[in-house]
Copies of this chain bind each other. A is one copy, B any other.
Amino acid sequence: MSSIQNIDIKNIQEELRKFLEHTKKCLPHISIYTVIFSFNNDNLNVLLLRFGDTQYFSLPGGFVLKNEKIDDASLRILKKRTDLSKLYIEQFTTTGNVENPNEDIYNETLKKMGIVLPDNNLMNQRRISICYYSLIDAAKVNPKGNDFFVSEVKWRSVQKLPELMYDHKLIIEKAISKLQLDMDRKLVSYNLMNETFTMGELQKLYEAVFQREFTRTNFQRKMLSLNILERLDKKYSGESHKAPYLYRFKNIQ
Protein backbone atom coordinates (compact mmCIF):
# COMPACT_ATOMS: atom_id res chain seq x y z
CA MET A 1 0.00 0.00 0.00
CA SER A 2 2.27 2.71 -1.26
CA SER A 3 1.71 6.36 -0.55
CA ILE A 4 1.25 8.56 -3.58
CA GLN A 5 4.29 10.63 -2.62
CA ASN A 6 6.49 7.61 -3.34
CA ILE A 7 5.41 7.22 -6.94
CA ASP A 8 7.71 9.19 -9.22
CA ILE A 9 6.34 11.30 -12.02
CA LYS A 10 7.84 9.11 -14.73
CA ASN A 11 5.91 6.11 -13.39
CA ILE A 12 2.71 8.10 -13.20
CA GLN A 13 3.10 9.24 -16.79
CA GLU A 14 3.77 5.66 -17.91
CA GLU A 15 0.69 4.38 -16.03
CA LEU A 16 -1.36 7.19 -17.51
CA ARG A 17 -0.21 6.30 -21.03
CA LYS A 18 -1.27 2.67 -20.51
CA PHE A 19 -4.59 3.78 -19.05
CA LEU A 20 -5.34 6.00 -22.03
CA GLU A 21 -4.46 3.16 -24.42
CA HIS A 22 -6.89 0.93 -22.53
CA THR A 23 -9.75 3.46 -22.57
CA LYS A 24 -9.54 3.63 -26.37
CA LYS A 25 -10.70 0.00 -26.47
CA CYS A 26 -13.69 0.64 -24.19
CA LEU A 27 -17.28 1.80 -24.65
CA PRO A 28 -17.76 5.50 -23.93
CA HIS A 29 -20.03 6.82 -21.15
CA ILE A 30 -20.23 3.50 -19.28
CA SER A 31 -18.47 2.49 -16.03
CA ILE A 32 -18.58 -0.67 -14.02
CA TYR A 33 -18.25 -0.41 -10.23
CA THR A 34 -18.02 -3.31 -7.83
CA VAL A 35 -18.78 -3.22 -4.12
CA ILE A 36 -16.48 -5.96 -2.80
CA PHE A 37 -17.75 -7.15 0.59
CA SER A 38 -15.87 -9.22 3.12
CA PHE A 39 -16.70 -10.19 6.70
CA ASN A 40 -13.91 -9.78 9.20
CA ASN A 41 -13.64 -8.96 12.90
CA ASP A 42 -17.44 -9.07 13.12
CA ASN A 43 -17.67 -6.26 10.58
CA LEU A 44 -19.03 -6.09 7.07
CA ASN A 45 -16.24 -4.42 5.11
CA VAL A 46 -15.91 -2.94 1.63
CA LEU A 47 -12.75 -2.57 -0.41
CA LEU A 48 -12.00 1.08 -1.17
CA LEU A 49 -9.30 2.94 -3.08
CA ARG A 50 -7.88 6.19 -1.75
CA PHE A 51 -7.90 8.83 -4.44
CA GLY A 52 -4.47 10.46 -4.77
CA ASP A 53 -3.45 12.44 -1.68
CA THR A 54 -7.05 13.29 -0.73
CA GLN A 55 -9.24 11.92 2.06
CA TYR A 56 -11.65 10.63 -0.56
CA PHE A 57 -12.09 6.99 -1.48
CA SER A 58 -13.81 5.34 -4.41
CA LEU A 59 -15.06 1.91 -5.31
CA PRO A 60 -12.96 -0.32 -7.57
CA GLY A 61 -14.18 0.24 -11.08
CA GLY A 62 -13.38 0.26 -14.74
CA PHE A 63 -14.79 0.31 -18.24
CA VAL A 64 -16.35 -2.19 -20.61
CA LEU A 65 -14.26 -3.37 -23.58
CA LYS A 66 -16.05 -2.98 -26.90
CA ASN A 67 -16.37 -6.76 -27.28
CA GLU A 68 -16.93 -7.73 -23.68
CA LYS A 69 -20.11 -8.74 -21.83
CA ILE A 70 -20.78 -6.49 -18.85
CA ASP A 71 -20.61 -9.43 -16.39
CA ASP A 72 -17.20 -10.31 -17.82
CA ALA A 73 -16.06 -6.71 -17.38
CA SER A 74 -17.03 -6.90 -13.72
CA LEU A 75 -15.10 -10.16 -13.27
CA ARG A 76 -12.06 -8.74 -15.07
CA ILE A 77 -12.04 -5.71 -12.76
CA LEU A 78 -12.39 -7.98 -9.71
CA LYS A 79 -9.49 -10.13 -10.89
CA LYS A 80 -7.34 -7.04 -11.37
CA ARG A 81 -7.96 -5.94 -7.77
CA THR A 82 -7.97 -9.28 -5.99
CA ASP A 83 -6.23 -11.81 -8.30
CA LEU A 84 -9.29 -14.05 -7.70
CA SER A 85 -11.34 -15.58 -10.52
CA LYS A 86 -14.85 -17.05 -10.59
CA LEU A 87 -16.07 -14.83 -7.79
CA TYR A 88 -19.73 -14.54 -6.91
CA ILE A 89 -21.10 -11.37 -8.49
CA GLU A 90 -24.57 -9.87 -8.40
CA GLN A 91 -25.64 -6.86 -10.43
CA PHE A 92 -27.88 -4.64 -8.33
CA THR A 93 -28.32 -1.22 -9.93
CA THR A 94 -27.31 1.17 -12.67
CA THR A 95 -26.90 4.81 -11.72
CA GLY A 96 -27.05 7.54 -14.29
CA ASN A 97 -27.35 11.06 -13.03
CA VAL A 98 -25.94 13.80 -15.19
CA GLU A 99 -23.64 15.37 -12.62
CA ASN A 100 -20.72 13.56 -11.01
CA PRO A 101 -20.39 14.82 -7.41
CA ASN A 102 -16.82 15.72 -6.39
CA GLU A 103 -15.69 16.08 -9.97
CA ASP A 104 -13.76 19.22 -8.88
CA ILE A 105 -11.77 17.17 -6.33
CA TYR A 106 -10.97 14.74 -9.10
CA ASN A 107 -9.76 17.42 -11.49
CA GLU A 108 -7.73 19.34 -8.89
CA THR A 109 -6.01 16.19 -7.64
CA LEU A 110 -4.95 15.14 -11.12
CA LYS A 111 -3.68 18.66 -11.76
CA LYS A 112 -1.50 18.50 -8.62
CA MET A 113 -0.09 15.20 -9.91
CA GLY A 114 0.83 16.88 -13.19
CA ILE A 115 -1.75 14.88 -15.08
CA VAL A 116 -3.80 16.32 -17.90
CA LEU A 117 -6.39 14.03 -19.40
CA PRO A 118 -7.32 14.61 -23.04
CA ASP A 119 -10.68 16.28 -23.65
CA ASN A 120 -13.56 13.85 -23.86
CA ASN A 121 -11.59 11.08 -22.20
CA LEU A 122 -13.82 8.45 -20.58
CA MET A 123 -12.95 9.83 -17.13
CA ASN A 124 -14.22 13.29 -18.07
CA GLN A 125 -17.42 12.14 -19.75
CA ARG A 126 -20.83 11.88 -18.24
CA ARG A 127 -20.95 8.25 -17.18
CA ILE A 128 -23.59 5.64 -16.48
CA SER A 129 -22.42 3.19 -13.81
CA ILE A 130 -23.45 -0.46 -13.85
CA CYS A 131 -22.99 -1.71 -10.29
CA TYR A 132 -22.20 -5.18 -8.97
CA TYR A 133 -21.44 -6.53 -5.56
CA SER A 134 -19.13 -9.41 -4.79
CA LEU A 135 -18.53 -11.44 -1.63
CA ILE A 136 -15.00 -12.56 -0.86
CA ASP A 137 -12.88 -13.98 1.90
CA ALA A 138 -10.53 -11.15 2.83
CA ALA A 139 -7.92 -13.64 4.06
CA LYS A 140 -7.43 -14.96 0.52
CA VAL A 141 -6.76 -11.56 -0.96
CA ASN A 142 -3.92 -9.13 -1.21
CA PRO A 143 -5.78 -6.23 -2.75
CA LYS A 144 -4.06 -4.19 -5.45
CA GLY A 145 -4.30 -0.56 -6.45
CA ASN A 146 -1.89 -0.24 -9.33
CA ASP A 147 -3.40 2.83 -10.99
CA PHE A 148 -1.93 6.27 -11.29
CA PHE A 149 -4.67 7.79 -9.13
CA VAL A 150 -4.78 5.17 -6.35
CA SER A 151 -2.56 5.79 -3.33
CA GLU A 152 -3.97 3.15 -0.97
CA VAL A 153 -6.31 0.15 -1.00
CA LYS A 154 -8.20 -0.52 2.19
CA TRP A 155 -10.95 -2.60 3.75
CA ARG A 156 -13.33 -0.23 5.53
CA SER A 157 -16.26 -1.14 7.76
CA VAL A 158 -19.60 -0.15 6.25
CA GLN A 159 -20.37 1.44 9.61
CA LYS A 160 -17.39 3.78 9.39
CA LEU A 161 -17.16 4.78 5.75
CA PRO A 162 -14.76 7.57 4.77
CA GLU A 163 -15.71 10.39 2.39
CA LEU A 164 -16.57 8.88 -0.96
CA MET A 165 -16.14 10.11 -4.52
CA TYR A 166 -18.98 10.50 -7.02
CA ASP A 167 -22.23 8.72 -6.04
CA HIS A 168 -20.37 5.87 -4.36
CA LYS A 169 -21.99 6.32 -0.94
CA LEU A 170 -25.40 5.79 -2.52
CA ILE A 171 -24.07 2.79 -4.47
CA ILE A 172 -22.76 1.17 -1.26
CA GLU A 173 -26.10 1.77 0.49
CA LYS A 174 -27.94 0.14 -2.40
CA ALA A 175 -25.49 -2.78 -2.36
CA ILE A 176 -26.14 -3.40 1.34
CA SER A 177 -29.93 -3.36 0.74
CA LYS A 178 -29.55 -5.87 -2.08
CA LEU A 179 -27.24 -8.06 0.00
CA GLN A 180 -29.81 -8.08 2.84
CA LEU A 181 -32.50 -9.10 0.40
CA ASP A 182 -30.31 -11.82 -1.13
CA MET A 183 -29.36 -13.23 2.30
CA ASP A 184 -33.05 -13.91 2.86
CA ARG A 185 -33.72 -15.35 -0.59
CA LYS A 186 -30.55 -16.91 -1.93
CA LEU A 187 -27.75 -18.85 -0.42
CA VAL A 188 -25.15 -16.11 -0.66
CA SER A 189 -23.83 -16.01 2.90
CA TYR A 190 -21.56 -19.04 2.39
CA ASN A 191 -19.34 -16.74 0.36
CA LEU A 192 -18.59 -14.77 3.51
CA MET A 193 -18.09 -17.66 5.99
CA ASN A 194 -15.45 -20.31 6.60
CA GLU A 195 -16.44 -23.79 5.53
CA THR A 196 -17.57 -24.64 9.06
CA PHE A 197 -18.81 -22.20 11.66
CA THR A 198 -20.81 -21.93 14.85
CA MET A 199 -24.33 -20.55 14.98
CA GLY A 200 -22.89 -17.60 16.90
CA GLU A 201 -20.46 -16.79 14.09
CA LEU A 202 -23.26 -16.92 11.53
CA GLN A 203 -25.37 -14.65 13.72
CA LYS A 204 -22.51 -12.11 13.82
CA LEU A 205 -22.47 -12.06 10.00
CA TYR A 206 -26.22 -11.43 9.87
CA GLU A 207 -25.91 -8.70 12.48
CA ALA A 208 -23.15 -7.00 10.49
CA VAL A 209 -25.12 -7.16 7.24
CA PHE A 210 -28.46 -6.11 8.72
CA GLN A 211 -26.81 -3.65 11.10
CA ARG A 212 -28.97 -4.73 14.03
CA GLU A 213 -28.93 -7.34 16.77
CA PHE A 214 -30.88 -10.59 16.74
CA THR A 215 -31.81 -12.64 19.81
CA ARG A 216 -29.90 -15.91 19.92
CA THR A 217 -32.91 -18.23 20.09
CA ASN A 218 -34.90 -16.47 17.36
CA PHE A 219 -31.91 -16.38 15.06
CA GLN A 220 -31.15 -20.06 15.60
CA ARG A 221 -34.81 -21.02 15.03
CA LYS A 222 -34.98 -18.99 11.80
CA MET A 223 -31.73 -20.40 10.41
CA LEU A 224 -32.67 -23.99 11.17
CA SER A 225 -36.13 -23.52 9.64
CA LEU A 226 -34.51 -22.51 6.32
CA ASN A 227 -33.13 -26.05 6.09
CA ILE A 228 -29.86 -24.86 4.55
CA LEU A 229 -27.49 -25.87 7.36
CA GLU A 230 -25.94 -29.22 8.17
CA ARG A 231 -24.95 -29.78 11.81
CA LEU A 232 -21.64 -31.57 12.24
CA ASP A 233 -20.83 -34.02 15.01
CA LYS A 234 -19.12 -32.62 18.09
CA LYS A 235 -15.72 -34.06 18.74
CA TYR A 236 -15.72 -35.27 22.34
CA SER A 237 -12.29 -34.57 23.69
CA GLY A 238 -11.26 -32.61 26.73
CA GLU A 239 -13.63 -29.74 27.34
CA SER A 240 -15.22 -29.92 23.93
CA HIS A 241 -18.60 -30.97 25.34
CA LYS A 242 -18.96 -27.31 26.21
CA ALA A 243 -18.03 -26.25 22.68
CA PRO A 244 -20.87 -25.13 20.43
CA TYR A 245 -21.94 -27.23 17.47
CA LEU A 246 -20.29 -26.56 14.14
CA TYR A 247 -22.40 -26.16 11.02
CA ARG A 248 -21.79 -25.98 7.32
CA PHE A 249 -24.00 -25.05 4.39
CA LYS A 250 -25.72 -27.90 2.57
CA ASN A 251 -25.28 -28.46 -1.14
CA ILE A 252 -22.44 -26.04 -1.73
CA GLN A 253 -20.00 -27.15 -4.41
Contact = CB atoms under 8 A, between A and B. Distances in A.
Interface of A: 27-30, 64, 66-71, 91, 93-98, 126, 128, 130, 181, 185
Given A29-B29, A66-B126, A128-B130, 16 more contacts: A27-B28, A28-B28, A29-B30, A30-B128, A64-B96, A64-B128, A67-B126, A68-B98, A69-B96, A69-B97, A69-B98, A70-B96, A70-B128, A71-B96, A91-B93, A94-B94
Most chain B CB within 10 A, of A27, A95, A97, A181, is at A27
A94 B91 contact: yes
Given A28-B29, A29-B28, A130 B96 contact: yes
A64 B66 CA distance: 19
A69 B30 CA distance: 14
A47 to B, nearest CB: 22
10 tightest A-B CB contacts, nearest first: A70-B96, A94-B94, A27-B29, A94-B130, A69-B97, A67-B98, A69-B98, A28-B28, A30-B128, A69-B96
A93 B132 CA distance: 11
Contacts of A64: 96, 128
Contact of A30 (B30, B71, B91, B93): B30
